[in-house]
Structure formats: structure tokens, C-alpha cells
Amino acid sequence: MHLAVLNPGSSDHDLLFTDGAGAPDDRVHAPVNYHAYAACTKGSFCRDVRSLPSQSRDVLLLLGNSMKPALRALDALRTRGCRVAVSWKESGAGQVARRLDDPANLEGFRRVCAAADGAISSTPELVALYRAVGAKRTEYIPTPYPIDDARWDFSRPLAQRSGVFVGTREWDVHSRAHASALLQACATGAPITVCNVEGRRGRKRLAALGCANLRVIEGRLPYTDYLRAMASCRVVFQQDSGQVPGQVAGDALLCRMPCVGGNGAVDRDAFEPSDLGQLLADDGAWHLAVERSQARAMKQLAYAPVAARLQSFFASLGS
């Protein structure tokens, strides 16, 4: 199976993942999040039904701010004889709740779930929602990370790492608890690395922390530079409670380092609860946490096991 992931009307460029994750290349979208469902099956990511590869039969249709593009795309996919599963593009609990505040979206969501062949949930929490609105078959399948591809190994020796990388950056998304995460990280006394994407406003907020051990990365880095900056630290820390798929934790897996504090799907699948202070002070505890998280992720979150689950799921949808 070569899964086609369709995000109708989006600004993302069409991509063919004939080489799976491929070599890291900041000129194209990284093979993570929903792109990873396509990449792990050597499939495609498209924004229009007309650009789907002609042989594509299995399609994951992403739901966005409005249900209208998805409903139109579903009709066209039916005409092509495709098997179609749907999934929210932004699938944190609060993100979905905001979408469903709109009566038109709520009605459209019910229609598209009932008409599709199934639904894939990137978080365990949304499975019940898809079932409640009539999805014929629903399964939690986490967004995979290419930890089984050596080209995506961003690890560094522990001797070359120092301090805490705070994985969140959205001050105004309350479920991220960004200020709380920063304050707790600063209290450890270790060097703290954080990205500021808000310019002057962000700098004022960071200055208000009164944290002397803060290293600020200004602006948004290319993804591979971001991973290298993360890997220069010892531990990733966050306080995100939004029940998201968990890219911060997924990035930590690529960097072969512990991630502490979030409740995303990847966080829970890969990482055991750990004490931030112990991971900063105890080399043995750090190595054990990395070993265990990598072992768990290889079984559940790497490309190969997720690709197998996707193939099994779409086969269960029938003709």
C-alpha cells in the first residue's frame, strides 16, 4: 500500500515519498506529523484530488477549518473508487472543540464521517468522537517518526549536551502552559534553551521571567537546525496538556533524548514519567530513559510498525 494523504485546499506542496522519509532536506516538508503517514508507506501528500497519483486507492482525507473542501473531495474520491478514511488535521482536544463550535462545521463533520469508510485518530481521545458521529471503523494510529531510518538520527553524545530545551513556544495557547514550563525549567539552575517566535513581544515576556540562565533562539529555524539545537541539550521539557499528537516528543525521539512533562500521544507511547532534576544530574538515569524510550518507540512509533498498521486498517475497510 502507498497511502495518499489529501489535505484539500491547503498551501502545502504536493510530495511523493518514494524513498520513505528520504534524507533530511529543509527545502521540503519534513516527513513528520500527517506527512509521515504518507512517507512511512512510500505514498504521497497532495492538496487536490486531481494531483493524486493515478494508482492511489487508499486515501487519508484531512479535515481543516471548514468541512466544505473535505465534503467536495470525498465526492470526487468516491467517483475514483478510493477507500477513504478521515482525520482532523489539527487534532488537539481544544483545537477540535473550537472547530465544532461552528454549527456548519458540526453538521459537516457528521456528514463526512458517516460517508467515509473509516476514521484514523492521531490521538486516543478522539476515537470516541469519530465513533459517536457515525464513522464505520475508527482506530488510533499514532503519527510515526523515522527513528528506524539512520538518516534521521540526530543524536549527540551526552558529553556534548547541556541543560534543558523547552519544547513549547506559544504563550497564548493556554494548554501549552509555556510560562509555567519556562519557570520550572529555570528553577533547576541548568542552562535553558527556548525559541522566541514573537519578536519584541516575546523578548519582553522572556525578560519578565527573571531567568539568568536563558539562551534564546530568535525566530523559526529550519527543521534540521531546530533538531540540532534540541540535540545540544540534555532533556526536553514541556507542560502541554492539550492531548495533541505530540510532535515535541517525536522530535525528542529523533534527537535520542528524554522528553518530560507533556500529555501528547507520542509522549505517552514512548516516554515513562521521569523526574527532570534526576535526568539532569544522573547520567545512568539519562541513558536508561533514552534506551527505554527508543525501544518503546521502535515497536509503536517507527515507520515500519505504523505502516503495517495503516495497511491492516485500510484492508479492513473492504472493497
Is residue 12's pLDDT more than 90? no
Identify whether residues 19 and 121 lie together within a single domain.
Answer: yes
Q: How are beta strands 4-6 and 58-63 bridged, if at all?
A: parallel
pLDDT score for 10: 86
**146 exposed, middle or buried (CB, 10 Å; 0-12, 13-18, 19+)?**
buried
- Mean local confidence (pLDDT), 119-125: 97
**Tens-place pLDDT, residues 238-282:** 999 999 999 999 999 999 999 999 999 999 999 999 999 999 999
Distance separating alpha carbons of residues 5 and 21, to the nearest angstrom:
15
In the chain, how many domains are there?
Answer: 2
Identify whether residues 46 and 76 lie together within a single domain.
Answer: yes
Query: What are the grid coordinates assigned to 84, written together?
Result: 477513504
**224 exposed, middle or buried (CB, 10 Å; 0-12, 13-18, 19+)?**
middle
Q: Give the rounded percent of residues in the chain with a pLDDT score beyond 70.
A: 100
Identify whether residues 11 and 93 lie together within a single domain.
Answer: yes
Identify whether residues 231 and 98 lie together within a single domain.
Answer: no
Q: Give the rounded percent of residues in the chain with a pLDDT score beyond 90.
A: 97
Identify whether residues 57 and 167 lie together within a single domain.
Answer: no
- Mean local confidence (pLDDT), 119-123: 98
Three state DSSP letters for 64-113? CCCCHHHHHHHHHHHHHCCEEEEEECCCCHHHHHHHCCCHHHHHHHHHHH
Identify whether residues 32 and 158 lie together within a single domain.
Answer: no
Q: Is the dihedral of CA 103, 109, 114, 115 positive or negative?
A: positive
Identify whether residues 293 and 311 lie together within a single domain.
Answer: no
pLDDT score for 294: 98
Is residue 319's pLDDT more than 70? no
Identify whether residues 158 and 283 lie together within a single domain.
Answer: yes
Contact 112, 74 (CB under 8 A): yes
**Tens-place pLDDT, residues 143-189:** 999 999 999 999 999 999 999 999 999 999 999 999 999 999 999 99
pLDDT score for 131: 96
Identify whether residues 154 and 295 lie together within a single domain.
Answer: yes
Identify whether residues 295 and 209 lie together within a single domain.
Answer: yes
pLDDT score for 318: 78
Identify whether residues 218 and 187 lie together within a single domain.
Answer: yes
Identify whether residues 175 and 263 lie together within a single domain.
Answer: yes
pLDDT category of residue 102 using cuts at 50, 70 and 90? very high
The domain of 120 spans 4-144+302-316
71: domain CATH number is: 3.40.50
Is residue 302's pLDDT more than 80? yes
pLDDT category of residue 74 using cuts at 50, 70 and 90? very high
179: domain CATH number is: 3.40.50.2000
pLDDT score for 237: 98
